[in-house]
Structure 1
Amino acid sequence: MYPSISHALYDIFGLNVKLPVQTFGFFVAMAFIFGALVLKFNFKERYERGLIPIVVTRLVKGKKLSIKEILPNVIFGFLLGYKLFYAFWHWTDFSNNPQELIISSEGNLLGGIIFAAFSYYILYRDRKKELEEYPEEKEVEVKQPPQDLVWEITFSCALAGFVGAKVFHFLEYPETLAELFTDPSSAIFSGLTFYGGLLFGMATALYYCKKLKMRLFDLLDIAAPSLMLSYGVGRLGCHFSGDGDWGIVNNLDKPTWFNFLPDWLWAFKYPHNVNGEGVLINNCDPFWGYHCFELQEAVFPTPLYEFLACLLIFLVLFLLRNTLLKTGLIFSLYFILNGLERFAIEKIRVNVVYEWGFIQPTQAEVISLFMIIIGIIGFVFFYKRKPN
């Protein structure tokens, strides 16, 4: 396993390069990038076929700079420079634990002042150029094809999704809430629950429905394949970092029908996992530091199973996007398949269970079961509904 990209470069290529990029964070970023590219393709395809309108935004040009505009830009510039300058002069510490630096109060005051001044200059320069074109305030219409807003939509939904994933993680593991005060970097940058992110992301999508003049389920239909692909790529981050999101102990003999696949796909000990869980690895290279541990017993590598399942579901949704054209069908199918995938994998995953009398479901099992039911009802409803 590779706690950071530096560990991957060292293990694969023998390069001892210190980079402040955690493996899990890298794959999360890749998940959003791949998802955004597919989303942009789907938007462009539907826009060119006349299925979704051009986006018209009304803006006021020729306004003088106000404190409300200056202050956020200057503060952001200051914080960016404050952290970047400090990271540059303390590169080794930053590359070993970037999240600790981001959360801490450590920084470089001179760097903050330089970046704050530069941020103000850029804002002032752009507004001066605008005032030359619009000496008086004037409302103008800006027209954009919807695919041009994809990165804005992705960033907004990602931010809301992160908050939702943390909220649901704290609901599932309430004992970790105290870490916000005792170990904030660990509490913020670890432990995410996908379904919380999905629900908060959908809430953000409501805002863009109004902006894009689209119905909610039209937007969700377009986004469904992207959501599935992003989730799958994110699961690779769980696997390659070894973040604890693995399966139960697997002492079963490898079945004969599985023989053509490598042993680690059946049972895996997650050596050098980012959590430092398990027993000490003999003759461990000092480069790995405190990541010289592997699980005492092999477990099911469930993140890999989920990645493969998500990739298959993504292909199904993507290939059916021009067949199931009635509003809501693709997203309803996404709900059904996503729920089935997650409900099935929960049977071999390590998770906290709820004690509900004679049944002990996990949070994900409860949510995925509701997703399956809602998806089936939605599919039948939208299928029978007359096309608009």
Structure 2
Amino acid sequence: MYPNLYYAFRDLLGLEIPFLKIFQTFGFFVAIAFLAGAYILTRELKRYEAQGLLKGIPEKVIAGLPASPAEIIGNATVGFLLGFKVLGIAFQWDKASQDFQGYIFSNQGSWITGIALGALMAWYKYATKKKDALPKPEEKMVMVMPHHRVPDIIVMAAIAGLLGAKIFHNLENWNDFVQDPISALLSFSGLTFYGGLIVAAIVIISYARKKGFNIRALIDSAAPALMLAYAIGRMGCHFSGDGDWGIYNSAYGIDSNTGHSVKMAPAAFNDVVQKNSSFFLQQYSSVDKIPHAAFEKPAALGFLPDWFFAYGYPHNVIKEGIQLAGCEGQYCKVLPTAVYPTPLYEIIVCLVLFGLLWAIRKKVKIPGVIFGIYLILNGVERFFIEKIRVDTRYDIFGFHPTQAEIISTLLVIGGIVLIGYYRKKNSAANTLS
């Protein structure tokens, strides 16, 4: 596993670049997911614009204004934070290099570089705006197309999605949250996708209505982008080892010397549990309640590596498990027995589903239906992967679903209703015409 990009470059390219330790692997893939989503969304919005389903909105702008106090203060603030933290690393390397994540979230930093860079960026904003300022600012109308608003949409999706993902995760794991709320809120792990999706959708659709978007065309445009972004985001989960993995595969153990998966008799699982009972009892009230299912690699799939079915996530970013022999440093843990690498399964399935949505997007002519298909595909995929994922389960009238199973079921129902509604609405419109 690669907790941050330093480990990825070291293991894959043989390059040791200490500065890369500040770039978390999970955060890197989340950033790539947003960029990929933005690219696909922009392409689809332009396609719908060319078809006349999405139109531009004229907006009034004033050219030639000098920099406002808010703009100068905003630039100064960004500059100060970058200088205080990022450039400050060079001045406090001994402290920062020991724990970059802890350093970023601490009150440590360089006041000198913070103030200097803040002042420089404030002056730059003032100077550039003054250069373009007119003796008398001019008011004019410009046509803003929907695809021009993608940067705004992505920023809102990032902020709202992060908040929603944190809120839903902490609601699902309330007992852990109340024990240490600060760590729960600041941790890079502990994000619930559906929480982010729901909150971001509410915020973006509200914004789109204010800007006069055709909502049906917008959500259809977003469907392939959402599926691709989710697949790439899951890469961050898998390659960093953020704890978002499956239940234990009791047909495999872990070699603590290498971190590799090794086959073992399912009965030996109890021996592993007893040997590492202190680890398991930190998570489960009893060793009898440890979720596991034995599944050995089928002979027909012999070409696949064992870690495809059972993985120990060595060097995981959350530092969970037992000590790896001969390993020194922060990230030297491996799970005592193998788990199903569910993020890997979701990466593969969601890339296939993205390809499917991309292939049919031009063939489906009824606006809104593509998004309905996305909801069904997303819900079915997540519902079945939950069967081998570790999640909090609720007790509802004798059933024990996870939060994701409840929401995924509602998404499938919602997708079916949405497709039926828009098909019926389209048929009625054709009849009237």
- Measured against aligned partners, the alpha-carbon deviations of 1:334-383 in whole angstroms (never above 9, x if no partner) come to 11110000000000001111122411111101111111111111111111
How much does 1:204 deviate? 2.4
Aligned counterpart for 1:381 among listed residues 421, 426, 429: 421
Aligned counterpart for 1:347 among listed residues 368, 375, 387: 387
Equivalent residue letter for 2:163: V
Provide the rounded CA distance (Å) in 2 between the counterparts of 1:17 and 1:68. 38
Q: Secondary structure at the match of 2:141?
A: strand
Determine the structure 2 residue equivalent to 1:3.
3
Cα 1:179–1:156 change in 2 (3 A) is: farther
Provide the rounded CA distance (Å) in 1 between the counterparts of 2:46 and 2:97. 39
Q: How does 1:83-102 map to 2 (within 5 A)?
A: 83-91=85-93, 93-94=95-96, 97-102=99-104
Q: How does 1:116-265 map to 2 (within 5 A)?
A: 116-132=118-134, 135-178=135-178, 182-183=182-183, 187-210=186-209, 212-250=211-249, 251=251, 252-265=295-308
Identical pairs, percent? 42
How much does 1:309 deviate? 1.1
Q: Secondary structure at the match of 1:143?
A: strand
- Measured against aligned partners, the alpha-carbon deviations of 1:6-38 in whole angstroms (never above 9, x if no partner) come to 112222232222111111111111111111111
RMSD over equivalenced CA pairs, Å = 2.2
Provide the rounded CA distance (Å) in 1 between the counterparts of 2:125 and 2:318. 43
Determine the structure 1 residue equivalent to 2:404.
364
Determine the structure 2 residue equivalent to 1:331.
371
- Please say which of residues 60-69 and 214-223 is displaced more in the overlay: 60-69
- Please say which of residues 65-74 and 341-350 is displaced more in the overlay: 65-74
Determine the structure 1 residue equivalent to 2:257.
none
Q: Secondary structure at the match of 2:339?
A: coil
How many residues end up aligned between the 2 structures? 382
Equivalent residue letter for 2:74: P
Structure 2 residues without counterparts, runs of 5 or longer: 252-294
Provide the rounded CA distance (Å) in 2 between the counterparts of 1:375 and 1:179. 38
Determine the structure 2 residue equivalent to 1:274.
317
How much does 1:222 deviate? 0.2
Cα 1:273–1:69 change in 2 (3 A) is: closer
- Please say which of residues 40-49 and 96-105 is displaced more in the overlay: 96-105
Contact 2:84 2:109 in 1 (8 A): yes
Q: Normalization by structure 1: what TM-score?
A: 0.91
- Please say which of residues 331-340 and 143-152 is displaced more in the overlay: 143-152
Provide the rounded CA distance (Å) in 2 between the counterparts of 1:243 and 1:116. 34
Structure 1 residues without counterparts, runs of 5 or longer: none
Larger Rg belongs to: 2
Contact 2:53 2:214 in 1 (8 A): no
Equivalent residue letter for 1:231: Y
Provide the rounded CA distance (Å) in 1 between the counterparts of 2:140 and 2:100. 43
- Measured against aligned partners, the alpha-carbon deviations of 1:292-313 in whole angstroms (never above 9, x if no partner) come to 2211111111001111111111
How much does 1:81 deviate? 1.9
